[in-house]
Amino acid sequence: MTNGRSFGAHEQELLQRFAERRPLALTPQQLAQKWTGISRNEIAFVCQTDISRVNHWLSRGRSYEKPRPYYSQTLALFDIFLEFHEQLPESLKSRYC
C-alpha cells in the first residue's frame, strides 16, 4: 500500500503551467510602495534577516545592495498572502503560515 499521490495528466498540465510562469519576485521598494506603513523591521522579520540588510536594500547610492532572489521571492509570497488572505482556503493558510 502506498501513501503517495498519482502524478497523472492533470498534474502534468499543472507542472507545465508552473514551469512557464513569470518569475516570482518583488523588491523591498515595491512592497513598501504598495503597503504604505510597513516598517523596515517588519520587512526584516518577514525575510528572517536583520535590519541592516534591509537598510542596504532600501538605500540609494554606494551602500545599496540588491536583495538575493530568495528574499525577493519571499516578499512576493508575502504580498500575495496580504492581498488574497481572505480568499485562501484555511487548509492552505494553516499549512504554510
Spatial separation of the C-alpha atoms in residues 97 and 42, rounded to whole Å: 16
How many whole angstroms from its chain centre is CA 42? 14
Task: Name every residue whose Cβ is closer than 8 Å to that of residue 62 and which is 6 or more positions away in sequence.
Answer: none
**Crossing angle of helices 40-47 and 51-58, rounded to 10°:** 110
pTM above 0.85, yes or no: no
Cell of 4: 503517495
**Residue 37 pLDDT:** 96
**Residue 69 pLDDT:** 96
As a whole-number percent, the residues of the chain with pLDDT over 90 amount to: 84
pLDDT band at 2 (very low <50, low <70, confident <90, very high): low
